[in-house]
């Protein structure tokens, strides 16, 4: 039996089988001629169209009419860079829909990309003309490289605003015990300690004794300034002829007392300003009791020098006297080394009469190669 050609479907006789049959003009000739004629007719039509420009024959000459309508599928997700024409159109529609956030790719977005760019806040700094609102309890977190972080936290249970640091560098382990809390009643706290409230600190009934009062208290005449009120904090007093006041006949003094918060009975620092212009005196109370009054500047003291070492050009003894000529302090140099440099200096502080030493301080001296003192250490 014969076979058919793959392109035009023309019949080809089998030389053995068909030879046994009567020759069929229609099958062997006419049907094949008709197929060839139809194919050649279409070829003539296409060639004519090319000559007249009806069919696209150059790059870019394919028009929408040639392509026809195409239906995109906006649900088709892009998978790569290769695909059919309609497939690419569907991918584009899918991406546009994803960017705009609309239900369909052809719907207009709420804002264009240019509008969003114009209205965005610059990360390096921006000015906001409206109200900035946060509905989160941790409304703002500030971080700086290699530093503790800070948070602004709006408490939900107490309606307080808290500013607190982190416990670690660049962390978010907030240390609330070190945070500053601001309450809606006007009070403020650090940790569990209140440091501001809506009242004032002027009245004698003010419970906040750790604060410096806004006025000066008058002590009674001849009051002992060694036994001031023992509450914690700083106080200021007007003193007249107070007991244990600075020596030298200073009747009127202005006294500032500062007590240590942990042990106000043991640790206290006092500053006494003399109204007669004799100077400002200071003293410290420690676990061993009160130290003697000292003149920090000593600018009102007379200086008398004794026993000069002419080789070194220094006085081994210097006396400092009060305006009433009583000795306030004496310095003594001793213990010279092989170069004659004195390695020890002693400070002797005297009582009000200037005759009895009440306190002694000893310091060791170190010298450089030029014989100048470069270091002093208490002994």
Residues 76-100: tens digit of each pLDDT: 999 999 998 899 999 999 999 999 9
- Do 230 and 192 share a structural domain? no
* Contact in structure between 349 and 329 (CB atoms under 8 Å): yes
- Do 243 and 183 share a structural domain? no
- Do 232 and 278 share a structural domain? yes
103 vs 247, which has greater pLDDT?
103
- Do 310 and 371 share a structural domain? yes
- Do 307 and 283 share a structural domain? no
Which of 265, 290, 315 represents a domain boundary (last residue)? Answer: 290
- The answer to whether residue 62 sits within a structural domain is no
Residue 3, number of CB atoms within 10 A of its CB: 10
Which of 251, 270, 290 represents a domain boundary (last residue)? Answer: 290
- Do 341 and 273 share a structural domain? no
162 Ramachandran zone, left/alpha/beta (phi>0; psi -120 to 50) = beta
Which H helix or E strand runs over 284? strand 280-286
- The answer to whether residue 310 sits within a structural domain is yes
The structural domain count of the chain equals 4
Write out pLDDT tens, residues 294-318: 766 555 678 887 788 888 888 889 8
- The answer to whether residue 64 sits within a structural domain is no
Q: Find, among 9, 4, 15, the residue nearest to 34 by Cα.
A: 9
- pLDDT-above-90 percentage for the chain: 18
Which of 242, 267, 290 represents a domain boundary (last residue)? Answer: 290
Which H helix or E strand runs over 95? helix 85-100
- The answer to whether residue 237 sits within a structural domain is yes
- The answer to whether residue 21 sits within a structural domain is yes
Write out pLDDT tens, residues 238-255: 888 788 887 655 567 888
- pLDDT-above-70 percentage for the chain: 85
Report the C-alpha gap between 316 and 333 in whole angstroms: 5
**What pLDDT score does 304 carry?**
80
Range of the domain at 41: 3-50
Structure tokens at 206: 């003010």
Write out pLDDT tens, residues 29-72: 888 789 888 888 888 777 776 666 566 667 777 777 777 788 99
- The answer to whether residue 118 sits within a structural domain is no
- Do 370 and 341 share a structural domain? yes
* Contact in structure between 259 and 273 (CB atoms under 8 Å): no
- The answer to whether residue 82 sits within a structural domain is no
Mean pLDDT of the chain: 81
Report the C-alpha gap between 294 and 276 in whole angstroms: 17
Which H helix or E strand runs over 281? strand 280-286
* Contact in structure between 344 and 357 (CB atoms under 8 Å): no
Write out pLDDT tens, residues 183-234: 877 778 877 676 665 555 544 445 555 554 445 677 788 888 888 876 656 7
- Do 310 and 279 share a structural domain? no
Please tell me what DSSP assigns to residue 26: I
Write out pLDDT tens, residues 2-23: 788 888 888 888 787 877 777 7
**What pLDDT score does 30 carry?**
84
* Contact in structure between 281 and 246 (CB atoms under 8 Å): yes
- The answer to whether residue 261 sits within a structural domain is yes
């Amino acid at each position: 039996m014969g076979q058919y050609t793959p392109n035009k479907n023309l019949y080809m006789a089998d030389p053995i089988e068909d030879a046994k049959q009567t020759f069929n003009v229609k099958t062997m000739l006419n049907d094949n001629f008709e197929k060839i004629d139809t194919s050649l007719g279409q070829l003539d039509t296409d060639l004519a169209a090319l000559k007249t420009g009806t069919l696209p024959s150059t790059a870019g000459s394919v028009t929408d009419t040639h392509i026809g309508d195409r239906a995109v599928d906006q649900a088709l997700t892009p998978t790569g860079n290769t695909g059919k024409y309609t497939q690419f159109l569907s991918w584009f529609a899918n991406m546009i829909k994803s960017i705009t956030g609309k239900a369909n790719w052809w719907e207009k977005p709420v804002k264009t990309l240019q509008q969003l760019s114009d209205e965005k806040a610059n990360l390096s700094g921006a000015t906001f003309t409206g109200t900035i609102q946060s509905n989160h309890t941790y409304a703002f977190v500030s971080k700086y490289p290699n530093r503790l972080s800070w948070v602004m936290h709006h408490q939900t249970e107490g309606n307080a605003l808290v500013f607190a640091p982190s416990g670690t560098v660049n962390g978010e382990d907030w240390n609330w015990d070190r945070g500053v809390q601001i309450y809606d009643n006007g009070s403020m706290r650090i940790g569990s300690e209140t440091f501001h409230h809506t009242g004032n600190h002027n009245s004698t009934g003010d419970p906040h004794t750790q604060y410096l009062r806004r006025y000066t208290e008058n002590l009674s005449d001849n009051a002992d300034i060694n036994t001031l009120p023992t509450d914690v904090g700083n106080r200021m007093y007007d003193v007249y002829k107070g007991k244990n006041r600075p020596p030298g006949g200073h009747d009127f003094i202005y006294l500032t007392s500062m007590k240590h918060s942990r042990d106000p009975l043991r640790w206290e620092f006092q500053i006494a300003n003399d109204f007669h212009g004799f100077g400002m005196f200071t003293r410290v109370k420690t676990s061993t009791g009160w130290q003697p009054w000292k003149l920090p500047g000593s600018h009102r003291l007379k200086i008398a020098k004794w026993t000069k070492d002419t080789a070194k050009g220094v006085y081994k003894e210097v006396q400092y006297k009060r305006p009433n000529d009583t000795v306030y302090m004496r310095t003594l140099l001793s213990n010279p080394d092989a170069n004659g440099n004195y390695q020890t200096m002693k400070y002797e502080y005297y009582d009000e009469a200037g005759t009895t030493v009440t306190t002694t301080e000893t310091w060791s001296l170190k010298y450089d190669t030029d014989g100048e003192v470069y270091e002093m250490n208490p002994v």
